[in-house]
Amino acid sequence: MRYFDTSFMVPLFLRESTSSVIETYFASLLREERSISHWTRVEFSSLLALKIRLGQLDIPAARSAEKRFEVTVANSFTVFLPSAADFDLAKEYLGNFSTGLRGGDALHLAIAANQNAETIHSLDKRLIKAGTMLNLPMTSGITPGT
């Protein structure tokens, strides 16, 4: 099972330079290989709200992206509900101050670790660096191990 943080999901629903290659990559995976958490859903909605506030996205486009996101997630991903153990592990990760982790990123890593993800996919360089420091199976690329 592969865990995808929010940064890796965004190009599926908002046009970015990595959109085509990420779409192709997701198409190559089985549903059982794809996972996110309910925290990812919150972060995605937060990103849309930020883009509206910054004038980078209008409300109809945001609503459309959110609807496509929710339909895709419901049909194509396992969605993990964060548990008390996930919050405890996230707190432990945050105690390693050298990682520079933020709370939400620590929660992503904890959920993925507690679910025994074989790979944690992210486009966030700070998250990748922090996860690597914690000996987690991070990847910045769209192919395993990159």
pLDDT (mean) for 68-95 = 96
User: Is residue 79 packed enough to be buried (19+ CB in 10 Å), middle (13-18) or exposed (0-12)?
Assistant: middle
Domains in the chain, please, with CATH? Answer: 2-139 (3.40.50.1010)
pLDDT digits 0-9 by tens, 10-36: 999 999 888 888 898 888 888 999 999
pLDDT above 80: residue 123: yes
- Chain-wide mean pLDDT for the chain? 93
Specify the pLDDT at position 143: 52
Specify the pLDDT at position 140: 80
State pTM to two decimals. Answer: 0.89
d(Cα 72, Cα 26) in Å, to the nearest integer?
11
pLDDT above 80: residue 141: no
